[in-house]
Amino acid sequence: MKVAEVPFAVIDFESAGSAPGLTDEPVQIAVIHWSGEEIKTALNSYLRPSREVTWSAKEVHGIGDELLVGAPLFVDLWPQVKASLSTRWVVAHGAATEKRFLRVFPFHGFGPWVDTLTLIRAVYPSLSSHALGDAVEKLGLTAQLPTTGFRWHDACSDAIATVILLRHLIHVTEIGNEPAEILTRPNLTEYFAHRREKSRQA
């Protein structure tokens, strides 16, 4: 399969936040499908955690306990999660968090995985910040974001931004006709060389 033929499912979570003695849990999930030119929301839901949202987490994403009353438990969304991710390549920006939260569904088998954080480090190794919002802004992609309802640190908005970033990276590297596996093994040699150079200058 070529890169241009891959059906992608871009996933993003917002979390209840980390605190001593507390296990982090998701409070929002969104999955955006992208195939060809079509971008559509496959799943977008708040999630009810077993503990309160930390103050610091709420300061970031604005999701407090009051918004989660009546929200489904994450495990109860298994049919929707399976339907939205199965048979697609799964994409996330800094995929470790998404993979960790999905472990609540053992042996789910989702993937292959594409990490846009790894990709942008390979394509733009000297970018001052590879965080999603910073990268989208520095690469001049903000005009491609939705004009209504978009808000950083909202799972659906961040997933859409990740689609925009992935689309840009595929376009600028002209890899649409390359084997899709190229997305899972980007060359980070220049990125690590740039990091070593910066550390020597510090």
Task: Supply the CATH number for residue 67's domain.
Answer: 3.30.420.10
For the chain, strand residue ranges (E) read 8-15, 26-35, 38-46, 89-92, 113-115
* pLDDT above 90: percentage of residues in the chain: 87
Rounded distance, CA 59 to CA 55, Å?
Answer: 6
What's the confidence (pLDDT) of residue 202? 66
Report pTM.
Answer: 0.94
What's the confidence (pLDDT) of residue 129? 97
> Residue 177's domain spans which residues?
3-201
Q: What's the whole-number mean pLDDT along residues 66-85? A: 96
DSSP 41-56: EEEEEE---SSPPPHH
User: How many domains, in total, are found in the chain?
Assistant: 1
Task: Indicate whether 21 pLDDT > 80.
Answer: no
What three-state secondary structure class fits 91? Answer: strand
pLDDT in tens, 133-168: 999 999 999 999 998 999 999 999 999 999 999 999
* pLDDT above 70: percentage of residues in the chain: 100
Residue ranges of alpha helices (H) inside 38-151 are 55-61, 78-85, 96-102, 116-123, 132-138
Q: What's the whole-number mean pLDDT along residues 112-119? A: 98
